[in-house]
Structure 1
Amino acid sequence: MRNIYVISIGLGLMVGLGSCNKEFLEQSNPNSVSVDKALKTENDVSLAVNGAYQALRSSNCVGEGASLWTDDRADDVNTTDNQSNNGEPFQFTAFALLASNTYLQSHWTALYVPISRANLVLSVIDKITFADNAVKTQYIAELKFIRAFMYFNLVREFGGVPLVTERLSSLDDVNKATFRETRENVYAQIIKDLVDVVGSNLPNVQPAAGKGRVSLQAANALLGQVYLTMATTLDAASKTANLNNAKTYLMACYNMRGFSKLSDIPFADVFDVNKKNTNQEIIWQIVYKQGDPTYRSSLAASNQAKGETINSLAPSQGAGGTFTNDLLKEFETGDLRTDYSVKYANDPAVKAYFITKFRDNSAAATNLGYGGNDWILIRYADVILNLAEVFMQLNDNATAITYLDMVRARAARPLYAVMMADPAYAFYPAKYPTLKLAILHERRIELAFEHHRWHDLIRFFTPAELVAYIRAKSQADYNNSPLSNITTKDYYFPIPLNEYKLNPEKMPQNPGYD
């Protein structure tokens, strides 16, 4: 019974600040034990650290099903059904998001669960004896990374949020923590945690048995991405310093790679379930277990279209994983990624393209669709395109193009200079006349359906620029979600209504959602 309690205990102390109340905290369970008594041994800590990782799997958090706050919110995937579930999923793609949206509240809560679990373990870990102190310091680094990653998602999506780095064990603790910190202070904590992690004794690369755990590769990549986001979304006076810091950590990650050229790793291999533990492009992933009813991946089966077997042996009666025509128009003919990522389903009930990027049609996955696809959170193509972005922002276009071309070369695409100079290739310079737009295009195709798009858009554009970018698109390519709805308020999600009501003065609503 103790093992189950250790894994779930963080949820009871703070599942989103709005979920705590006096009655809940004062309830007494005669079968429960205090945290200090539950976490007494190295094995207890190991289980609790696993519990922090486990919380990432939720589709309300950052797991494989977390498309609503990323790809759906952006211009890649469109939730067209404005009736089911009270129309709440539709609000994300229609830029009509309400603070009372229950999916939004679930997302906020799910992002705080790993934070609370990390804080809980960190509060007691120094009191516990380890056979090898190096194991303890690695656990500390992993928990700080998870906490930083969650706050990075929170600050990008909501702006300033409550910043909690200590264990909350009383109503008074919760009340003191219930206020929105500035974005700058949230980023400062993220950097503080990640600097500790990159200076830790974590391995550069996790061995096959440790896949899914944090490495120094992942820590450097994330810290570089944080600095890059700060450079383009915070005070312009600090932009150059933040860009140089981004370059430092992204290059540190790049120099830890185990391959020579990105083109040495075929694009299809990145998503091959038989190579997920050995593929050197994958930096950090959430591990799913093939054939297991509880820990399997549902990606392949859920994206399968009727009449098709390319993704999974599980039969489908629907259209599978759909996406906007706006995205379809960006896939280039002859691009290896096009043929691997999407396919036209010719069944009379479908007659449309569907997502094929995530496949497991092996017998081991069974006809129930219990796939073995891991959910990739960070990989080297992402880091390489981040480097292209950094050098572009530093006005070093030549170096930026070098990194951009690494990704295009693997996709069997003409290199940037060739495209821009070739009148026969008018598609590219006509649609992407600037290096900035070319890099954004490359990220859209390379990382399609991997839950990066919304975060890319808010990093590449100011609120006003984002509104202009979305409104310039063809409504016909965006189904029934009105593009004209988007305003500068949509740069951030609203603070969930339950959180706002806790203390309207200290938890003020984001502009435009009042």
Structure 2
Amino acid sequence: MKKILAAIIITGVMSSCGKKFLETLPINTITEEDFYKTPTDAYKGLVAAYSVLNWDGFGNISLTSEIASDDCFGGGGSSDNGWSQWDKSVRMTDLNSNAWKKYYTGIYRANKFLQKVDGVNFKGDDATKKRYVAEAHFLRAYFYFDLVRMFGHVPLITIPLEPGNYTVPQASADSVYHLIASDLKQAAADLPATPYSSIPAAENGRVTKWAAEALLGRVFLYYTGYYSKPDVAGVITQADATTAIDDVINNSGYSLVPKYQNLFRASAESKEAYAGQNNQEGIFTIQFTYLALGDQSQQNGNRVQVMIGIRGQVLGPYYKGWGGATVNESLYRAFAPGDSRQTASIISINGEGYANTFVKGDQAQYTGFYCKKYTPLKDGNADDLGGNFQTDNYDNFMAIRFADVLLMGAELNLGSNIAKAQGYIDRVRDRAFGDQTHRITLSSKAQIMEERRLELSLEGLRYWDLLRQGMSVAKNAIDNTATDPAFNISFRSETNGLFSIPETQINLSNGSLKQNTGW
């Protein structure tokens, strides 16, 4: 921990996220003593916390958890052991170090902002200060939620650590979730309730009241399911979560894109039909750009895109990638006939007519299926735009979609207002099939969980949805037996679904960090 946290100081941390309001010049010469004086300083400090959202594909929780779920295998090249370790839940030294560093960097920057903001002269503009503070609380909650889901037992740090104070003991999950819940409640209360249609284009990607309420609902459902608790650490009740999610659905102005396939650039019917990088369904959308133009240190390109792209070749409209997270055929077969989500979500080598042109090469765990939603495209590829396909893919990532909120609403209302729950899931299925004849009569949580698997496939939510239903459910779904041993997977329930804490961090902690059970 010392190496990570000691290195994160205010000088030089302000890197650009690269789009709209996040486009700000890096700061390399301003010292902490000279900073956090003006509203502009505060804004740049806030951008520094936002910028961590872009960091590193190997530290991306969406990719890691998809590979750990039943819907994907590790894939990649035959020597890419890290991905197969996530897939098979086996130990590899420092496998999760990128994620650990990413989240504690983001937490540090949010804490630094919150520590210094009261020293900024906002010249009576209390509304701007209130908004900035609320955004920082959201970001800290967002980073901690990913961190605690992955590792369970983590140090709880609410102020920037100073030299000589780097060994912080692991906190209970309840303590971490108490902070997350409190941060989200404050963010939801203090962020302006600006409807989607009134959000300026220059603020795309910026946290809103609706994003805070949606994440509040997600946190409630995960925590209460995984830990079998009635509320979130005494801070968020089911009534709170239900009210928040219903508010997003009824008042945010966000809505479903009319056709599912047009949500994603790789599956859109045409350039013109594509709903766009910041469309009406993306309640919280992480911004990416190609504008680093090959400068990997900028860390503002979408690295996951190259990781999931078809390995080593340009095939049809798709650009080259590393072949990670190959899709389990069982997911492809889970879609009913006529469900538009199947071909919008998954590339089928045979189904799309590439059997005679595809070259397997050293692709590991080849299934014949790749992730489509965020796969890079040949048209407008990063190389042609002056960047590098390894680092400069630029499709934004919808971290929270309106469809996800509808399904959360169905789950939260299932026991108290079945008509409302039915209406929410109807909207999702009607869009998927393009008619009202494929509706189901909603009667159980299991139906909602299956709908979530199909609607939100390959978006980093499946693993967590399995874990919050219990270890037996997760094991039953993830375990896989095949004639090819490369596909033999056994979920290890003794880990409780948690990932291994990086060994270097344990070694640096002077005994304050203990490895998770099962690792």
The aligned counterpart of 1:349 is 359
Choose 45-54 or 362-371, whichever is displaced more. 362-371
Aligned residue runs from structure 1 range 134-145, under 5 A:
134-145=127-138
In proportion to residue count, which structure has more helix? 1
- What corresponds to 2:489 in structure 1? 483
Distance 1:81 1:363 in 2: 24
In structure 2, distance between residues paired with 1:160 and 1:211: 34
Deviations 1:381-418 (A, max 9, x none): 011111122233x3655543332221111001776985
Q: Deviations over 1:186-224 (max 9, x none)?
A: 111111111111111435344211011101110110111
Q: Can you give the 5+ residue segments of structure 2 that lack an aligned partner in the other structure?
A: 13-27, 266-270, 295-299, 361-366
- Is the CA contact 1:230–1:242 (under 8 Å) kept in the aligned structure 2? no
Among residues 95, 102, 113, which one is paired with 1:121 in the alignment?
A: 113
- What do residues 273-294 of structure 1 show as CA deviations (whole Å, max 9, x unaligned)? 8643552111111112356625
Name 2:32's counterpart in structure 1. 35
Letter in 2 for 1:154: L
Task: Verify the 8 A CA contact 2:110 2:139 in the aligned structure 1.
Answer: yes
Question: C-alpha distance in 1, partners of 2:310/2:8?
Answer: 45
Note the alpha carbon deviations across 1:82-110, whole angstroms, 9 max, x for none.
Answer: 9625x233211011134xx3231221111
Instruction: Say if 1:17 and 1:161 are closer, same or farther in 2 by CA, change over 3 A.
Output: farther
The aligned counterpart of 2:428 is 407
In the alignment, what sits opposite 2:218?
225
Q: Aligned partner of 2:405: which letter?
A: V
| Shift of residue 61, structure 1, vs aligned partner | 7.6
CA contact (8 A) 2:112 2:159 kept: yes
Deviation at 1:74, TM superposition (A): 1.0
Q: TM-score, normalised by structure 1?
A: 0.80
Paired residues for 1:27-66 under 5 Å: 34-59=31-56, 66=61
Task: State the 1:252 CA deviation.
Answer: 1.6
Deviation at 1:54, TM superposition (A): 0.9
Structure 1 distance, partners of 2:400, 2:321, is 32
Could you tell me whether the CA contact under 8 Å between 2:59 and 2:96 is conserved in 1? no
Asked whether 1:151 is paired with 2:160, we answer no
- C-alpha spacing 1:293/1:442, structure 2 compared with 1 (3 Å): farther
Question: Which one of 91, 94, 113 corresponds to residue 85 of structure 2?
Answer: 91
1:332 aligns to 2:332 (yes or no): no
User: Hey, what's the Cα distance between the residues in 2 that align with 1:258 and 1:490?
Assistant: 38
Structure 1 regions of 5+ residues with no counterpart? Answer: 1-15, 421-432
- The 1-side partners of 2:147 and 2:449 are apart by 22
Structure 1: how far apart are the matches of 2:428 and 2:326? 25
> C-alpha distance in 2, partners of 1:456/1:59?
24
Q: Could you tell me how far apart the structure 2 residues matched to 1:214 and 1:478 are?
A: 45
Classify 1:95/1:279 alpha carbon distance in 2 versus 1 (closer, same or farther; 3 Å): same
- Taking the TM superposition and a 5 Å limit, the aligned residue runs for 1:282-293 are 282-289=282-289, 293=293
Aligned residue pairs, count: 465
Residue type of the alignment partner of 2:315:
E
2:498 is aligned with 1:492? yes
In structure 2, do the counterparts of structure 1 residues 251 and 288 end up closer, same or farther at CA, with 3 Å as the change threshold? Answer: same
Q: Please list, as runs of the form range in 1=range in 2, the aligned pairs for 1:60-459 lying within 5 A after superposition.
A: 66-80=61-75, 84-85=79-80, 87-98=81-92, 101-131=93-123, 132-172=125-165, 174-175=166-167, 178-204=168-194, 205=196, 206-238=199-231, 242-258=237-253, 262=256, 265-272=258-265, 275-276=275-276, 279-289=279-289, 293=293, 295-297=300-302, 303-304=309-310, 306=313, 308-311=315-318, 314=319, 316=320, 322-345=326-349, 346=354, 347-350=357-360, 352-358=368-374, 360-363=377-380, 367=384, 371-392=393-414, 394=415, 396-412=417-433, 435-459=444-468
1:184 Cα deviation (Å)? 0.9
Task: Using the TM superposition, name which of 131-140 and 117-126 deviates more.
Answer: 131-140
Q: Give the CA deviation at 1:494.
A: 2.5
Report if the CA contact (8 A) 1:95-1:490 is conserved.
no
CA distance in 2: counterparts of 1:418 and 1:224, whole angstroms: 25
CA distance in 1, matches of 2:96, 2:433: 40
Mapped to 1, the partners of 2:278 and 2:75 lie a distance apart of: 38
Change (3 A) 1:242 1:469: farther
Identity among equivalent positions (%) equals 26
CA shift, 1:185, in A, is 1.0
Given that residues 290 and 382 in structure 2 are in contact (C-alpha distance below 8 angstroms), is that contact kept between their aligned partners in structure 1?
yes
RMSD across aligned positions (CA): 3.5
Residues 242 and 97 (structure 1 numbering): CA distance in 2 closer, same or farther, change over 3 Å? Answer: farther
Letter of the 1:386 counterpart = M
Displacement of 1:180 in angstroms is: 1.1
What SS does structure 2 have at the residue aligned with 1:403? Answer: helix
Q: 1:478 to 1:44 in 2, by over 3 A?
A: farther
Q: Pick closer, same or farther for the CA change 1:328–1:406 going to 2, 3 Å.
A: same
Cα deviation, residue 141, structure 1: 1.1
Mark the CA change 1:440 to 1:478 in structure 2 (over 3 Å): closer, same or farther. Answer: farther
